[in-house]
A = this chain, B = another copy of it.
Amino acid sequence: MEFSDGKTIFIQIRDWLVDQILTGSLSPGDKVPSVRELAIDLEVNRNTVMRSYALMEQEGILDNKRGIGFFVSDHARERLIQDEKKLFLQEELPKLVHQVKVLKMVPADFKKLFDQLNENQNENK
């Protein structure tokens, strides 16, 4: 995993794990890497990983069993889809609409997005 600027590292780690839960790489009940193990793996400090895990525990997507480790909570996926979708529609979409307008973008610029939207719709039929 590579880190970019613009977002703090512990948030990027959180987002990276969230993505794994949403895509199914991590399933409810799965144990996530130990704080020390992941820190070594990502070449960051233990405390930084700890901060990511503490945040995710507070968000209700990780459960903590002291002395054993952190685990993906039972309803992590549903909760994430609900919360992240709400966040997207309320925070990101308005900015996106504005950007589309001032940059004078047209449907052709969004072909990939359309294809993906149609796939999602067909899957739910």
| Interface set of A (CB-CB < 8 Å, partner B) | 6-7, 11, 19, 22-23, 81, 84-85, 88-89, 93-94, 96-107, 109-110, 112-113, 116-121, 123-124
Contact = CB atoms under 8 A, between A and B. Distances in A.
- Give the number of copies in the complex: 2
Given A93-B110, A109-B89, A110-B93, A116 B101 contact: yes
A93 to B, nearest CB: 7
B103 A84 contact: yes
Nearest to A123: B104
Given A6-B6, A6-B7, A120 B106 contact: yes
B112 A97 contact: yes
A19 B102 contact: yes
Given A7-B6, A105-B85, A120 B93 contact: no
Contacts of A23: 102
